[in-house]
Chains A and B, each alone.
Chain A
Amino acid sequence: MLSTVLTAVPADSDWINFDVNALAQNFWSATFDGLTFGAIYALVALGYTLVYGVLNLINFAHSEVFIMGCYGVFFTLSFLGFGPSAPNLSFGQILINIILALIAAILAAAATAFLVERLAYRPLRKRNAPRLVYLITAIGASFVIQYLIFLWRGPLPEPALTMFIPTPIFEVFGTIIDSQQIIIVVAAVIMMVIVDQFIRRSRTGRGIRAVAQDPDTATLMGVNKEKIIVTTFIIGGILAGAAALFYVMKIPSGVQYNGGFILGIKAFAAAVLGGIGNVRGALLGGLLLGLIGNYGQILLGSSQWTDVVAFVVLVLVLLIRPEGILGTSLGRSKA
């Protein structure tokens, strides 16, 4: 699609400049920052992957599950009295505030995920609707949530609330790694490991894998399919809530009625890149997409390029290796 546009561009224009020097200079900071974004993508991607694994369906409303989480964080922080500049708090106080915001985000996101499942998907499952009907309903649900927020909060982004000033922790390759980056990446990876282990080892996890592999047989074997599906949506919601917290931490001005949209597409691209339906693939895909997006942004010279790059990556993956890098499905991952 780019090529047709490219031919239409006069030769003298420099709208696309491959600034390799800029990339070389900022390589490591772009890498660490990319990993931070990647961790957020990965958490959201996991929500897509889990639902896709169990229902074989892209949950288009997942981006709104995520943005509701962001609003949960925003309201908690405003309630706690945060403003545009970070208050001077002790480490313990910061931690407590973060945990409170996390709980609120998880509650908001998981509740949204639960409601979407109940109000939109379940009625369709009951009458065994064709796939197109699911997709359209999901997009409708996403749209409705977006515009409910719009009517409630208006078109502008919410004011930025800063939780804390990232402090430098250590230096690698001449680049400072700050506390925020460490918190996000470490917390996200821990959460994903927990989910991975939960799906591999717990009884519910076994149920999820069974339903992913063959819903009918799983039901015959005594797995409560409906319960498993709800659980999957809620797990996805919890992860999206966590992602929302980190997202607001990273981009305080990103809370907006349609703020989940692009992030949702990127997270989905991450899930496909890693292999949709694959828990570890979501992590790998998320981190890779974070890196690719950041490198692309510096190389091409505008932050808007990250979105374009993510999209091009999605199309390329679909073209070359649609099953993604790790490729296996949720059902086949063995304990």
Chain B
Amino acid sequence: MSTTDGPTPMPGAKAAQAAANRQAAEKNPSTSADAAHKTGWFGRWNEKWQAMPRQKQWLYLIAIVAVAYLLPILNPPILSTEPGNDFPLALFSMAVYALVAVGLNIVIGYAGLLDLGYIAFFAVGSYTAAMLTSPDSPFIKVPYLWTLPLAIVVAMCIGVILGIPTLRLRGDYLAIVTLGFGEIIRILATLIPAMKGQVGFQNVGRPPGMGEDGIPVFANSNGTPWYWLTLTILIIVLLLAGNLERSRVGRSWIAIREDEDAAETMGVPTFKYKVWAFALGAGVGGMSGALFAGQVGFVNNQKFDVVTSILFVAAVVLGGVGNKVGAVFGGALVAYIPLRFTAIAEYKYLIFGLALMLIMIYRSKGLIPARNRLLAYGQEAYARVRNGPPKKPAVATEKEV
């Protein structure tokens, strides 16, 4: 600004500006206090949850996980999607969407990078699994379970290749490049003979195991084992994502999201961490794709519509941008609603498109607003501050607080 002010001294201008700055800075607490009142039930749950001791939290978590594993057996009538859709398969679909949302949340929620072509990484994972296990493919075959890590690696590589030119630039470029890529991957699958266009790959591999009746445990129509496998992977990914969140990596991402220039000035290698976020997100997307390909057993170019990408974004936004538990919830919800309420399934794109707009305009923190905890041992430190009075007297500036 000093260059545009011109040489004339402007008495008082600085003071006025500083006063305005100050006003702007102090205006914030009141608005956020309002927001705190509006958090609703989820917010209250969140507060209660935070106040619980660690052991109690673990107990609850174990109970929730146990219920989640039992769901396909319990098949509770209120939740069940039957008779319209097989419930275990619906659960698998929800778990895959949840996994996708958790992965996309790393990109959008943590690092604040809008990836609109996440389906592309999902597709890359699916094709990796299909081309390395299906008898229709001329390539070497590997056991299905190997394709899960391979899908992660391939998707991550493509994420890096795509991310390097675009992540140096402003966020909107990334959005449109990924949107384009989401569409291009489908066209490439059509144009490249090795990817077999609409014919696709039949009999994609499955994990080993044979039932007593001679039907594979992981048969395409048997949703329960696929659901359990995906749920297990989802839990592992959630734990790992939590580890990242409460580390310098998570802090760097959130700092980039909040103010990229300030983050860079504070010594955060912003480009590096953006590429990491993009690549890790791509990896999770790739793995979800491989799981999906395994369960469905068939992969062709019709399965990867770029509009599904927007549903993925809706899943993240619905749950609350940046919140991994919210992402699980949002992902499951986006998969569940059209399967449970088949009458409105036709309108799902419209519904979730509207949800995107309305949530962003009126409730940009999503349905489950939660703040990321970014320090591994933060809770202890905050507890110490709350419990023991500060050792030193507050200075004059703090009196107003």
Contacts and interface: CB of A to CB of B under 8 A. Distances in A.
Given A120-B357, A139-B313, A322-B173, A10 B114 contact: no
Contact of A140 (B180, B184, B353): B353
Interface string A1-29: 11111001110010100000000000000
Contacts of A129: 360, 364
Interface in A236-268: 258, 261-262, 265, 268
Given A8-B139, A150-B349, A265-B179, A143 B356 contact: yes
A274 to B, nearest CB: 15
A143 B154 CA distance: 30
Interface in B303-360: 306-307, 310, 313-314, 317, 321, 346-347, 349-350, 352-357, 360
B172 interface: yes
A137 B357 contact: yes
Nearest to A150: B349
B317 A315 contact: no
A302 B184 CA distance: 14
Given A8-B139, A15-B191, A136 B161 contact: no
B162 interface: yes
B249 interface: no
B172 to A, nearest CB: 4
A308 B173 contact: no
- Most chain B CB inside 10 Å of its own CB: which residue of A57, A131, A140, A310: A140
A272 B172 CA distance: 12
Given A13-B194, A140-B353, A318 B173 contact: yes
Contacts of B46: none
Nearest to B169: A322
A132 B352 CA distance: 18
Nearest to A320: B165
A151 interface: yes
A223 B131 CA distance: 60
Given A8-B139, A302-B191, A136 B356 contact: yes
A144 B360 contact: no
B360 A124 contact: yes
Nearest to A58: B172
Say what secondary structure dominates the interface of chain B: helix
A132 B112 contact: yes
B344 to A, nearest CB: 12
Contacts of B357: 120, 137, 140-141, 144
Say what secondary structure dominates the interface of chain A: helix
Interface string B138-174: 1100000000000000100110011011101101110
A165 interface: no
A304 interface: yes
A13 B193 CA distance: 7
Nearest to B164: A319
Contact of B192 (A9, A57, A130, A319): A9
Contact of B356 (A132, A140, A302): A140
Interface of A: 1-5, 8-10, 13, 15, 57-58, 60, 120, 123-124, 129-133, 135-137, 139-141, 143-144, 146-148, 150-151, 258, 261-262, 265, 268-269, 272, 302, 304-305, 307-308, 310-311, 314-316, 318-319, 322
Give the 5 A-B CB pairs with smallest separation, nearest first. A140-B356, A143-B353, A140-B357, A319-B165, A144-B353
12 contacts: A4-B154, A4-B157, A10-B138, A130-B112, A131-B172, A132-B114, A139-B356, A147-B353, A150-B350, A268-B176, A307-B183, A310-B180
Given A3-B161, A15-B191, 9 more contacts: A2-B188, A130-B112, A133-B360, A137-B357, A140-B356, A147-B353, A308-B187, A308-B188, A318-B177
